[in-house]
Amino acid sequence: MLAKKLKRMIRQPRPVGTDKVTYGMPSTHSAAITFYAVYIMLAANLLPIHPAWHFPSSPYVRVIPSVISLPWATGVSLSRVGLHHHTMSQVGAGCLLGAITAGVWFKLWIMGLNQWGAVAETGLHNLLGF
């Protein structure tokens, strides 16, 4: 939502020749996919593994999510330029926005917002019965 709001405020057109009619700065696809990738990397490396999951104590358990999410986000972001839907600066701004937002959200989560996650998890568990 933040990327869409910024897009309407900045009002920078997309590259010439695209069939898209909305503004291009920042790329919302790049912001969203970078948010997911950065959040996954932070969570995989800094949060404890959930006790219900019985993973081996291998360091690969923490590395594999980053190895998957970073190229995935890079590919999606660069495809926006390759498809002529955005310029490189629009994609870069989207990636920066996504990374900053993920970092802020992760920090809020570990500073106490996660308590609401535990409440939601318990409620969902009770509702679904597993």
Predicted pLDDT of residue 110: 82
Q: Which amino acid is at 38?
A: V
Number of domains in the chain: 1
Highest mean pLDDT among 17-26, 85-94, 117-126: 85-94
DSSP assigned state of 87: -
How confident is the model over 52-92, as pLDDT tens digits? Answer: 767 666 777 788 888 999 999 999 999 888 888 888 988 99
Higher per-residue pLDDT: 90 or 20: 90
* Domain containing residue 11: 2-128
Predicted pLDDT of residue 10: 75
- Please report, for residues 26, 35, 40, 77, the alpha-carbon distance to residue 22 in angstroms, rounded to integers and kept in the order given: 11, 21, 29, 17
Q: Does pLDDT of 12 surpass 70?
A: no
Predicted TM-score (pTM) of this structure: 0.75
Predicted pLDDT of residue 41: 92
